Structure 1
Amino acid sequence: MAAFAPVAGKPPLSTAMRFALRELRGGLAGFRIFIACIALGVAAIAGVGSITRAITAGLEAEGGTILGGDLSFNRSMTAPTPEEAAFLAGLGRISTLAELRAMARSPTTQTLVEIKAIDDAYPLTGTMQLGAGGPLDAALAADAAGTFGAVVDPLLLARLDVEVGDTLEVGRTTVRIADSIAAEPDKVGSGIDFGPRLMLSREALDATGLIQPGSIIRYETRLKLPEPVTSDRVTAVADAVVAAFPEASWRVRSRDNASPGLQRNIDRFAQFLTLVGLTALVVGGVGVTNAVKSFLDRKRDSIAAFKALGAPGGFVVAVYLAQILVITLVGVVIGIAVGVLAPYFGGDALANVLNLPIVIGIYPVELVLAALYGILTALAFALWSLGRAHDVPVSALFRDRVAPETHRPRLIYIAATVASVATLAGLAILLAYDRYVAVVFVGAAAGAFLLLYGVALGIMALARRAPTVRSAELRLAIRNIHRPGGLTVSVVLSLGLGLALLVTLALIDGNLRRQLTGTIPEVAPSFFFLDIQSSEADAFEARVREVAPGVTIERVPMLRGRITALKGVPTDQITPPADARWALEGERGVTYSAALPEASTLAAGSWWPADYTGEPLVSFEDELAELLDLEIGDLVTVNVLGREITARIANTRSLEWESLAINFVMVFSPNTFAGAPHSVLATTTFADEPGEAAEIGLMKAVIESFPTVTVVRVKEVLDAVNGIVSDLALAIRAAASIALVSSVLVLAGALAAGHRQRIYDAVILKTFGATRARVLGAYAAEYLLLGLATAIFGVVAGGIAAFGVLEGLMNIDAVFDPVVAIGAAFVALVLTVGFGLAGTWRILGRKAAPVLRDM
């Protein structure tokens, strides 16, 4: 009793720590799974956080280079006026660019290119590097024959099978390939490219004849302010420019927010990967529970000795909680070490693939957050089991070998468990980029655990009520499933969540691929033709029908406009939902029509008469109108060609976006744009599969007859999008594998936790004459039944989750893939039966005498 002499009625905490450290001298045997689960989850969160922060820091550090200056003012179809240019030039150095898509043609083939026409001041920041290392202005200058030079992406050389020194046809002129582009300083801020870069001078662009009334061209003026430059000064200058030209309808960006869309996408993807890491931790939490229960089972004699010598229950909990925390810190340190190294080994490669800047370093906030997640997970899943040891009498501890206790811990331990879980969930929600998604994740995780626990109890209830079978092996397997202290709950919890996640991601991936490569090609047009001059539209259609008789042609007028106000409220004062932000942040294609477009279905309101001449009316896309809280009769203001046009919503339409037919968010009444210059957008759709030669022949004929028309081949766009989806799917699968690996580790730990009980069972059965084959058969049947039940849950839960994501968030018709179900079932069976039999085989080799003597 002297060892536990009370101080103020209780043994001091230092005494508990001393005993905890003494016991830990024996090593970490039995805690390898525990440490691996914590380390894996912490490493995932720390690695994702560190890499994301490194890329974000790179974007912030290189903001001026990415943007091309301190401020950027851009809009479509309208170049800066002399007054606007003079005002900006009075604030600092300026450079004006023009960007558009067009066709480049070699003697043998043609391809879509992204043209950037620059002035003499480009680049204001950063360095433009050419393949041969020469100056940019010399490369773009015209030669003695008057042929302008161009520098191109090396991909264009390969795609057109040309070399430096060769010539290309662009629009109505010929350009000479003067050099290739080695490094373009503002490439990251350019957005998604559908073709390789072709850089020209502004004079060369004028010579191409591509700039026509209504051409889809974006003008960007960049401003480099005199030093010193501060964020406050940049903001003040931006406000002054907008105030000076309120009708300019510029999209203004600063070096502090050089690529907001890119940053949002990085944040979203980082959140997804962080949630996957949290899933790994939560799954690993089951392993923590199993490890703690197994640990306390091995320490039964020590706990009994503590209590027999007068140690209070709180002292016992303190001793083993201290050990659990020390072991948790081991796993956390390992995970943090991996997280620190992640940017050095993986971040640089990722940044190169995505063409992003990165500032590699150690980011304490992200590492501390990952460590906190790991510690909270360990506490949340360990406190309940530790709390049960508080009030268990010595006799029950010894009897627990054959009759496990199932009483609840004291209220204080329940409260501590709930507090740990609540803090873990609160952090996940509070620090999330999209809190709604985080709330859904937390709710889904909690629901999945409750459902899995219910499934485990249901399996046990069914096994308990199952009729008696003749096979002794199967009868023993069924009884093992429902007996107290069995593996059912541990196996279902450990494997079920990982399988559900695997099925969810596999179904989402499969449906996305089906949508891109299955449904769309059956109904999609073969080509989109942009920048058709309205005066050439009839001749264009005639030429297409001459080359491809029977082809279906759809054509509509095309303008570009930016929404500047909704219901009289300027858009810069509106905070739209995340799903609708895209509609207010940039310019949208707009059109007008006397009749309801073919790809649209009227959702609300009525269409205007064909000869309507009243106030401007607009038809709005139904889902977007709902997100923006727009109703019939509300006013929408759009800036088109520098003019503010306010129209009243006459109706809303449902669109079939997946058909890839011509669709517009806004369709105006024809009188709205009477006399406005515009181009024509057209699509062509073959009645039957045309084949490669027919499509190439049509594209070549159109480009030869109408060199300023831009041709977008749908098949190539789908291939590009499918490539992006494939890359994302690969990243998602790699991330999801972390959760699956956690499930496998936890499953191994769950089976190892039952190792001691299995030894007793096997020895007793062998003592009464059971052969090794029959015992092995009984265990195999048990593992098979558990794996099958878990697989069924994983398939059902994963299918429901995938359906919710596809139908609810992506608006994609979900189709269940039986191959995924079979694959998940196979994985579950292989893991449970494989791990189970691997451990059982060693158990069956144990001698009976030592085990019986120890009972």
Structure 2
Amino acid sequence: MWARISLRLLRQELKRGELTVMALAIVLSVTAVLSLSVFSDRLQQGLMNRSSEFLAADRVLSSRREIPQQWLDKAQSMQLSVAWKVMFNSMAYAKQQLQLVDIKAVSKGYPLRGQLKIAQQPFAEGQATTKLPETGHAWVDSRLLQSLQLTIGDRIELGRSSFIISQVLSYEPDVGFSVFTDSPNVLIRRSDLAATGLIQPGSRVRYNLLLSGSEQNLADYYQWLKPKLNGDTYRWRSVEDGDSPLARSLRRAEQFMLLASLLGVILAATAVAVAAQRYCQRNYDVVAILKTLGAGTSTIRKIFIFHLLMLTLLSIAIGWLLGWAIQAAVIHYVAQQLGETLPNAGWQPYALAATTGFVSAVMFTLYPLLRLLTIPPLRVLRRNLSSSLTARWLQWLFCGGTIYFLLVIYSQQWWLSTALFAGGGVAVAILLLISRGFIRLSRQAGMQAGSAWRLAMAGLQRRASSNSVQMLSFATAIMLLLLVIALRNELLNDWQRQLPADAPNYFAVNVAADDVQNMQQRFAEQDVETTDFYPVVPGRLTHINDIVLVDEASKEGPEKQPQQEVREGVGRELSLTWRETLPPNNEVVDGAWWQPNANPQVSVETRIAERLKIALGDQLTFDIGGEVFSVPVTSIRDADWNSLQPNFYMIFNPQTLADFSTSYITSFYLPAARKNELYSLLKPYPEVSLIDLDAIVAQLREVVAQVSLAIIYVLVLVIIAGALVLVAQVQASMEERQKELVILRTLGAPGTLLRRSVSYEFLIMGAISGLIASIAMDLSLALLQTQVFGMDAIWHWRFWLIGPLAGAIVVALLGRLSCQQLLRKNTAELIRHWV
């Protein structure tokens, strides 16, 4: 019986449209979560696949010793593609000249991701190839041809073997990111390596096993391999490891898309909460009638739980369908832009969407449903009777806890969820304080209601509690909408500005001091703009405040020196520089930049200062070519490592390093159309090494472009969700407004006055909500900038004007349209419908 009643009630309310907002809210939450999850998952996989080119594989197992052949066999048995890459430094000999080179000996199948590009001229635009050098042949970096004055067809000696230079290496997917230590690369076959005799006991060689395949197979292989790995010997790497520009950009891209998805979840959950409260309020009379007919609380509970369960399952099914269709259309467009098919998503987004819809429907209807079940039967006769459950704090607990729970399970990052939730909490607190204060101020005006404005303010005072909830919902929707717009127009633009169209795409290193002025002049004549030329001196930081620094993995650590205090050091030589003025894209955060003719001083970058626990005033001891000296730290500074300009951990004042011999480094931008000019541009400087960052810059811009598309997509969904929240909140007050209109019409209030008062009331609520939303949005954005994205906090004052203005217009428009049909009814119709 209770099941039939529940289904009949569901059909009737669906026909009357009573459940439209409730169903749309659940559909929207499922659609938003599914489409955003699948979209983010597939786009992220696509970006990761493209980014894996920078490893030439999905994963790399590297070691200083030979990797057992059975490990490769196991990988192949797990349906993974494999290839070998052996790398080491050696001297190349040609035309009675020597040059230190990086030899890369590779096996068939290399690279597993990306493509090699080769050319017939140095620094020329290369053509993609799937081949490798033939036996006895070598492909070499343009810089080697430049430094040794070689051409295609010349021979180069590596150890006991001689190789014919048959191609110029224009692009290698795993070329790396270092601009200080890279030597020209020479690519040969691994089968030719033994004949060179270059690898001997004690040789510094890096063996790399390249692997590619599905994420599941890679994970399974790593689980099999992990117990066999020695942390000091083997290293398992992916493109997300390390602190390269690409790794940082991928992490930031993931944060942007994750944040965009979370905003959709919050707004969809808010829409469900508002709709659930109105749904239960409209069924107060139904429960009272059922109780007068003898139905017990248990039966009524079953009726409405089954009712909501059927509605939820139907809404989840529709949301699944819409979410899949939306993401399929967007992914099709993105795949065309990327030029490849994006990987399919797993089942997790569908489960997550269903969980979100189900949890939202249950938890946000729990408190209204509890109130519904406590409606007394006497309400049939006395319509003013309501629920005996008045613990409003339970509703805040259920709703707030559910939103936070959804954020955590969706992001798997409690700190990002906390940042968003804290912003919403600030909005709630400020809104409640201001709304209560405004209600007090409007009380006197309400007592003297004689105009549309005063009548509107009196209405705000009479509906203080419900208006506070409405304003909270309005503010939440407006805040999230402003936050998405700010993300699109502020945070994302700030990120994009770090990669302008003319960002440096080449580094020139090992520039002799005598060539700096001549090179500057030559570049200027060729209309090539360079950054500053920085002197570079290799040196090692050995002590901090007379405490010895050791490498973390050093065998001469504390166990070898029990009587000597030691601290962890950098573990390698640093590239040191000096400069009179603060470099571009650097900012002093502690201390002060030095004055001319000052004593020896050093400025330390914040990252290395935090890692080594260096503070202002510490004494640092350096060893440069056997000469040891100490210098105090006089400033700590932030450096923008995403600018693709030379940056340094340690910068000295000129007097400190003036007596050391140096080389120089600079970066410059050259359009792709002028790439063939590189050889002639640098021909007079054969000792200069050129680092090509074009591929890195292009990949970074691609990441930014795809994240920008994701944010635009989310903006559309948030606008739809925000409109639904606003409509749901306006409809939630329809019954009370109808009663008010009956009284005012009976007392002779003209229709013009009533229409204006309704418009003004929503105008005031929208303006206040917009102001609160602007404040909360800026606070949330500042928190995200500083704690999540690692940026400086910037206040966006124009949103403090946009928020109230947009809130007033949008809320007034939606409120007036929602009340339009009610305002058109005459007094008799209002009374008949009310009674």
TM-score, normalised via structure 1 length: 0.67
In the alignment, residue 19 of structure 2 is paired with which amino acid?
Answer: F
Shift, 1:631, TM fit: 5.9
In the alignment, does 2:480 pair up with 1:501? yes
Provide the residue aligned with 1:23 in structure 2: 9
Per-residue CA deviations over 1:313-360 (Å, capped at 9, x if unaligned) read 454344323323322222222223344456644345445645787432
Provide the residue aligned with 1:160 in structure 2: none
| Aligned mate of 2:271, from 277, 284, 287 | 287
Per-residue CA deviations over 1:23-57 (Å, capped at 9, x if unaligned) read 11214222222222222222222233334555677
In the alignment, residue 325 of structure 1 is paired with which amino acid?
Answer: L
| Aligned mate of 1:38, from 16, 26, 36 | 26
Provide the residue aligned with 1:393 in structure 2: 376
> 2: CA distance between counterparts of 1:481 and 1:474?
11
> 1: CA distance between counterparts of 2:534 and 2:51?
40
In the alignment, does 2:353 pair up with 1:370? yes
> 2: CA distance between counterparts of 1:56 and 1:644?
49
In the alignment, residue 803 of structure 2 is paired with which amino acid?
Answer: A
Per-residue CA deviations over 1:238-266 (Å, capped at 9, x if unaligned) read 649x64xxxxxx96537998999978966
> 1: CA distance between counterparts of 2:747 and 2:735?
19
| 50-59 or 367-376, which deviates more | 50-59
Change (3 A) 1:175 1:284: same
Per-residue CA deviations over 1:565-604 (Å, capped at 9, x if unaligned) read 98653499xxxxxxxxxxx9x9999322478874475947
In the alignment, does 2:816 pair up with 1:834? no
- What is the percent sequence identity of the aligned residues? 18
Provide the residue aligned with 2:401 in structure 1: 422
Provide the residue aligned with 1:151 in structure 2: 126
Per-residue CA deviations over 1:164-188 (Å, capped at 9, x if unaligned) read xxx9998466789x99999x9x96x
Shift, 1:732, TM fit: 2.5
Shift, 1:742, TM fit: 1.6
Per-residue CA deviations over 1:47-100 (Å, capped at 9, x if unaligned) read 3333455567779999998854686478xxxxx9xxx6988999876345899x
| Aligned mate of 1:806, from 785, 789, 803 | 785
1:124-135 matched pairs, under 5 angstroms: 124=110, 126=112
Provide the residue aligned with 1:464 in structure 2: 443
Contact in 2 for aligned 1:304/1:394 (Cα 8 Å): yes
Provide the residue aligned with 1:309 in structure 2: 293
Change (3 A) 1:822 1:754: same
Contact in 2 for aligned 1:16/1:319 (Cα 8 Å): yes
| Aligned mate of 2:84, from 72, 89, 94 | 94
> 1: CA distance between counterparts of 2:262 and 2:751?
41
Change (3 A) 1:652 1:707: same
> 2: CA distance between counterparts of 1:283 and 1:528?
42
Q: SS state of the match for residue 681, structure 1?
A: strand
Contact in 2 for aligned 1:97/1:117 (Cα 8 Å): yes
Change (3 A) 1:468 1:540: same
Change (3 A) 1:126 1:280: closer
Change (3 A) 1:714 1:346: closer
Q: SS state of the match for residue 423, structure 2?
A: helix
> 1: CA distance between counterparts of 2:87 and 2:152?
18
Q: SS state of the match for residue 411, structure 2?
A: coil
Shift, 1:465, TM fit: 4.4
> 2: CA distance between counterparts of 1:539 and 1:62?
39
Shift, 1:781, TM fit: 1.0
Q: SS state of the match for residue 557, structure 1?
A: strand
Shift, 1:474, TM fit: 1.4
Contact in 2 for aligned 1:618/1:669 (Cα 8 Å): yes
Change (3 A) 1:740 1:649: farther
Change (3 A) 1:37 1:591: same
Q: SS state of the match for residue 680, structure 1?
A: strand
Change (3 A) 1:422 1:783: closer
Provide the residue aligned with 1:299 in structure 2: 283
Q: SS state of the match for residue 706, structure 1?
A: coil
Provide the residue aligned with 1:209 in structure 2: none
Shift, 1:270, TM fit: 5.1
Q: SS state of the match for residue 664, structure 1?
A: coil
| Aligned mate of 1:848, from 820, 827, 830 | 827
Q: SS state of the match for residue 126, structure 2?
A: strand
Change (3 A) 1:355 1:629: farther
Provide the residue aligned with 2:458 in structure 1: 479
Change (3 A) 1:391 1:53: same
| Aligned mate of 2:319, from 335, 340, 344 | 335
> 2: CA distance between counterparts of 1:776 and 1:748?
18
Superposed CA RMSD in Å reads 6.2
Shift, 1:221, TM fit: 5.8
In the alignment, residue 516 of structure 2 is paired with which amino acid?
Answer: F
Q: SS state of the match for residue 359, structure 1?
A: coil
Change (3 A) 1:420 1:754: closer
> 2: CA distance between counterparts of 1:398 and 1:850?
21
Contact in 2 for aligned 1:68/1:124 (Cα 8 Å): yes
> 2: CA distance between counterparts of 1:733 and 1:852?
47
Change (3 A) 1:471 1:714: farther
Provide the residue aligned with 2:721 in structure 1: 742
> 2: CA distance between counterparts of 1:790 and 1:822?
12
Contact in 1 for aligned 2:578/2:657 (Cα 8 Å): no
Provide the residue aligned with 2:516 in structure 1: 540
Shift, 1:775, TM fit: 1.9
Q: SS state of the match for residue 389, structure 1?
A: helix
Structure 2: gaps of 5 or more residues: 73-82, 90-100, 130-141, 154-165, 190-204, 543-547, 556-567
In the alignment, residue 657 of structure 1 is paired with which amino acid?
Answer: A
Structure 1: gaps of 5 or more residues: 1-14, 75-79, 100-114, 131-135, 155-166, 205-218, 244-249, 573-583, 686-690
Shift, 1:826, TM fit: 3.3
Shift, 1:203, TM fit: 8.2
In the alignment, residue 127 of structure 2 is paired with which amino acid?
Answer: V
In the alignment, residue 152 of structure 1 is paired with which amino acid?
Answer: Q
In the alignment, residue 334 of structure 1 is paired with which amino acid?
Answer: I
> 1: CA distance between counterparts of 2:750 and 2:168?
76
In the alignment, residue 380 of structure 1 is paired with which amino acid?
Answer: M
Provide the residue aligned with 2:200 in structure 1: none
Shift, 1:557, TM fit: 0.7
> 1: CA distance between counterparts of 2:579 and 2:393?
66
> 2: CA distance between counterparts of 1:821 and 1:225?
52
Shift, 1:798, TM fit: 1.4
Shift, 1:496, TM fit: 0.8
Change (3 A) 1:598 1:817: closer
Shift, 1:789, TM fit: 0.8
TM-score, normalised via structure 2 length: 0.68
In the alignment, does 2:645 pair up with 1:655? no
> 1: CA distance between counterparts of 2:343 and 2:503?
43
In the alignment, does 2:376 pair up with 1:381? no
| Aligned mate of 2:803, from 817, 824, 832 | 824
Provide the residue aligned with 1:49 in structure 2: 37
> 1: CA distance between counterparts of 2:271 and 2:522?
70
Provide the residue aligned with 2:411 in structure 1: 432
> 2: CA distance between counterparts of 1:700 and 1:352?
35
> 1: CA distance between counterparts of 2:472 and 2:377?
30
Shift, 1:417, TM fit: 7.6
Contact in 2 for aligned 1:94/1:222 (Cα 8 Å): yes
In the alignment, does 2:470 pair up with 1:491? yes
| 223-232 or 329-338, which deviates more | 223-232
Change (3 A) 1:277 1:18: farther
Shift, 1:760, TM fit: 4.0
> 2: CA distance between counterparts of 1:811 and 1:238?
34
Provide the residue aligned with 2:95 in structure 1: none
1:424-823 matched pairs, under 5 angstroms: 425-426=404-405, 428-429=407-408, 432-466=411-445, 471-484=450-463, 488-507=467-486, 510-512=489-491, 530-534=507-511, 536-545=512-521, 553-557=532-536, 569-570=552-553, 590-593=574-577, 598-599=582-583, 601=588, 603=590, 620-626=604-610, 651=633, 653-657=635-639, 662-666=646-650, 679-682=663-666, 703=682, 705-706=684-685, 709=688, 725=704, 728-810=707-789, 812-823=791-802
